Structure 1
Amino acid sequence: MFPFVFKLARGITLMEKDDRYFITSQTPIRYLRLNQQLYEIIKMISAGASLDGITGPKTWPEQKKIVEVIFTLVAKGFLELSSQDGDQEQDPGLPAVTVIIPVRNRPEDIRDCLSSLGNLDYPKEKLEIIVVDDASTDDTAGVIREFGVKLVSHDVCKGPGACRNRGGEAASGEILAFLDSDCTVSPSWLKEMVRFFSLPGIGAMGGFVAGYYQSSAVDRYEDAFSSLNMGKRVLFESNAASMFYVPTCNFLVRREVFREIQGFQPQMQVGEDVDFCWRLRNAGHHLLYVPTGVVFHKHRNLFRKMLKRRFDYGTSEPDLYRRHGEKKKILPCPLYQGISLILVFGALLSRSVLPLGLIPVLFYLDFRKKKKAVDAYLLPFHTRSIILSTIRSTFSFWYYCCFYLIRYYFIVLVLLTAIFPVFGTFLLFAVLMATLVDYFLKKPRLSFFPFAGIYLLEHTFYQCGVFYGCFKRHYFRSLLPDIMIS
């Protein structure tokens, strides 16, 4: 049974034209050409059919493919997960789950974590909790024993990956649910998540990570911008080439899949969750993120600790790309938009408006290219929608390039500005483009200038970590994206 119902997202239209099939959106302008089989499936969805009704008596590989296509359309914003059928409160089909928590020297955090697990709305006979104590030197083990959960202890500190592997070896549950010791869970955490494992091909999934603390500026920044917060949209990947991952502070995986890919890399102290997710998808399993199943994470809310953690994250990036040589950091570059950004940068560096005079020409050429593609399929898009789409895609590309520069080369740009002041306006443009867009999109509960200060510090320490990792491993490919001109 697959207890899920989908619907067309707001503003999405399914259409047939001259024996060709499309799913379209006017704002923003988007369209996909469909084959007839997929068109019929989406037509059933728009009529209210459940996933169970769509898959019917099909074989497991066919069901897996349908799930892949439908969730890809959800992730792209064409479909929405509308509801879950069935009685979630009294579902005898709920799987046995083992919650695995690595911990070291965090007695109060593990107390809060285990207390929240005691309030879980999940059948006790189907729930196992394993805490792996990584050679704590304080009273952490004593606190764990107070809760009567299964305790596994290390004699020497081995790191979080080794702890999770040890917990996975001892687990009896069908689903392994990984949780960090500085997290607490919502009562419905597991019930909101485990149902997705009824879907064929789902190997692992993650849920929403909210901030536990909300008082300081760093707390509010982390609540919106922590790398653990994957956002409020469903994310799904079956493509092994993508960089998608979900963090292990709120991470569920099938036990047989965990053992198939031999768990986490125990020698990795940072980035082991990314490595695991990449290997999982390389093995042919789907990875899903849903913005439910909430976990509250005690983010590092002191500047020093927060920035050190960002530095640590940065050091893991070169190691990950070295381990996964098949991964490539791609920078899509639409031809006209790329040239327009070069002209903007040229105007800023030359302090002349003359290069900007060509931008309307490039905008018109990009508009004509989009209109020609739409007209080829006789799709009913308004000229106004195509113009707005051209504006949107141009500024989106400019933002992405500026974000990349701030993420990886902010320090370099600051040094260039100190030596060659002409780079000052270039740097200011990149900073404002990246910070303003992120501020208005993610809406942190901070005024702009405190946000911008934390934002730039975060990127500075992250790129310091990246450079450190690159020099340490003599591997620099993570700094150099492959530019794909289209």
Structure 2
Amino acid sequence: MSDPRPLVTVIVPNHNYATSLELCLLAMQAQTYQPIELIVVDDCSTDDSVAVARRLGVRVVSTEHNLGVAGARNLGTAHASGEILVFVDSDVAAYPDAVEVAVAMLAADPRLGAVCSIHDPEPLIRDSRVEEYRALQYYYWTASSEGPISFLFPALVAMPRHVFNDVGLFNTRLRETEEVDYGHRLTQRYGMVLTTAVRSRHDHDDKLLKLLRKLFRRGRARVPLYAQRKRFARGFETSNRAGGSLAALAAVVTAPAVLLGPAGAALPLLALAVSILADLGMYRFVLRRRGPLFLLYYGAVHFVVNVTIAAGVAAGVVQWFCSARFRRLYEPDLLVRPAAAGEAAM
């Protein structure tokens, strides 16, 4: 990064996020840092996403068939001219100084391979209480993990182009957990940080079932990687959080023991207490911000989320023992070549 103001290419993968896409692009056009090259990679949207980008004067690269977010990011890099790559999801709006701060952090430490943003505890678009829960929960888990990590947060991340070239492409076989795989690969060679200095707002999931399905799939799909690497991701996935999820699942599994009387009821109650204690700091945070009534709602939703995460991991363990194909899920995706992915520039 010899040039004091290197060109930054911002790559926005998008599939049917027209409403938040406009907010995302306006935020990028309002960045204090210049020069910026802005590219939307539209992954076969059926809404008016492309029209939104064109109206704002943003270059659009379109895929011929749905590649998923990993493939869309790869394709964007094939069209990027920048010395610094910034990946930002189309449901994220960055603060005006986000790119400037991230570029400065990369310039200050040549060993740093990626700088990841922490989203605000308030959602970008307030649609439901579920979204309010998710924004608070996600913020607390990320903010309390601030610092060195091995779990990439690609919703808003900056990295030098040479780092991307060195680490390689996102694995397009991974529709849910490409960021965990990429983070593990990147941190074998470079440092990576999660920081509140790079701020953004995220339009989180606003439907509970949609959120639960996503968390279940992600929990299941991470099992082969962790079995292969024999460790969890650094920073974000703590023993307390894993224990809280397992204890919540144990409370559900042992619930029928209440039929045995007070002694039997002690089992699920103990598991529930362990689950609550594991996330006690988070519950105190929510209480300070939203008060006791919202905390009751929050606690109930978080219990269901914990059960879902643990159930997804359990399903992944079973699948890992039963499926050789599943065990090979994180093998390198050697067939991906971004320039040949089938694109049409607009």
TM range (shorter): 0.7 to 0.9
Q: In the aligned structure 1, how far is the partner of 2:140 from the partner of 2:152?
A: 8
Q: 1:150 to 1:116 in 2, by over 3 A?
A: same
Displacement of 1:285 in angstroms is 0.8
Residues 241-280 of structure 1: pairs in structure 2 closer than 5 A: 244-280=150-186
- Retained in 2: the 8 A contact 1:223–1:229? no
AA at the equivalent of 2:246: Y
Q: In the aligned structure 2, how far is the partner of 1:236 from the partner of 1:137?
A: 38
Q: How many residues align?
A: 307
Which of residues 255, 277, 283 in structure 2 aligns to 1:417? 255
Residues 295-334 of structure 1: pairs in structure 2 closer than 5 A: 295-322=200-227, 325-329=228-232
AA at the equivalent of 2:290: R
Displacement of 1:253 in angstroms is 1.1
Residues 35-114 of structure 1: pairs in structure 2 closer than 5 A: 93-114=4-25
Q: 1:232 to 1:93 in 2, by over 3 A?
A: farther
Q: 1:315 to 1:108 in 2, by over 3 A?
A: same
Match of 1:437 in 2: 281
- Retained in 1: the 8 A contact 2:247–2:274? no
155-164 vs 214-223, which deviates more?
A: 214-223
Displacement of 1:106 in angstroms is 1.9
Q: 1:306 to 1:152 in 2, by over 3 A?
A: same
Displacement of 1:423 in angstroms is 1.0
Q: In the aligned structure 2, how far is the partner of 1:215 from the partner of 1:445?
A: 17
Displacement of 1:203 in angstroms is 1.0
Match of 1:200 in 2: 110
AA at the equivalent of 2:230: K
Q: 1:214 to 1:445 in 2, by over 3 A?
A: farther
Q: In the aligned structure 2, how far is the partner of 1:408 from the partner of 1:231?
A: 22
Match of 1:364 in 2: none
Please tell me whether Structure 1 or Structure 2 has the larger radius of gyration of its CA atoms: 1
Q: In the aligned structure 2, how far is the partner of 1:136 from the partner of 1:452?
A: 36
Q: In the aligned structure 2, how far is the partner of 1:228 from the partner of 1:194?
A: 25
Q: 1:204 to 1:432 in 2, by over 3 A?
A: closer
- Retained in 2: the 8 A contact 1:318–1:470? yes
SS of the residue aligned with 1:299? Answer: coil
Match of 2:328 in 1: none
> Structure 1: 5+ residue runs without aligned partners?
2-91, 238-243, 331-399, 477-486
Q: In the aligned structure 2, how far is the partner of 1:228 from the partner of 1:309?
A: 19
What RMSD over aligned residues (CA atoms) do the two structures have, in Å? 2.7
Displacement of 1:310 in angstroms is 1.8
Q: In the aligned structure 2, how far is the partner of 1:433 from the partner of 1:415?
A: 19
> Structure 2: 5+ residue runs without aligned partners?
258-263, 324-346
- What is the identity percentage for the equivalent residue pairs of Structure 1 and Structure 2? 25
Q: 1:229 to 1:412 in 2, by over 3 A?
A: closer
- Retained in 1: the 8 A contact 2:17–2:90? yes
Displacement of 1:436 in angstroms is 3.2
The superposition leaves residues 121-167 of structure 1 with CA deviations (integer Å, 9 ceiling, x where unpaired) of 122xx210111111122322222222222211111111000100111
TM-score, with normalisation over the residues of structure 2? 0.80
Is 1:190 aligned to residue 99 of structure 2? Answer: yes
TM-score, with normalisation over the residues of structure 1? 0.58
AA at the equivalent of 1:100: I
AA at the equivalent of 1:445: R
The superposition leaves residues 403-458 of structure 1 with CA deviations (integer Å, 9 ceiling, x where unpaired) of 53331352233222313434134224313423433311565525231121011011
Match of 1:405 in 2: 243
Is 1:471 aligned to residue 318 of structure 2? Answer: yes
- Retained in 1: the 8 A contact 2:240–2:279? no
Displacement of 1:312 in angstroms is 2.5
Match of 1:32 in 2: none
Residues 169-184 of structure 1: pairs in structure 2 closer than 5 A: 169-184=78-93
Match of 1:457 in 2: 304
Q: 1:147 to 1:229 in 2, by over 3 A?
A: farther
Q: 1:463 to 1:148 in 2, by over 3 A?
A: same
AA at the equivalent of 1:287: M
Match of 2:342 in 1: none
Match of 1:122 in 2: 33
Match of 1:291 in 2: 196
AA at the equivalent of 1:434: A
Displacement of 1:182 in angstroms is 0.8
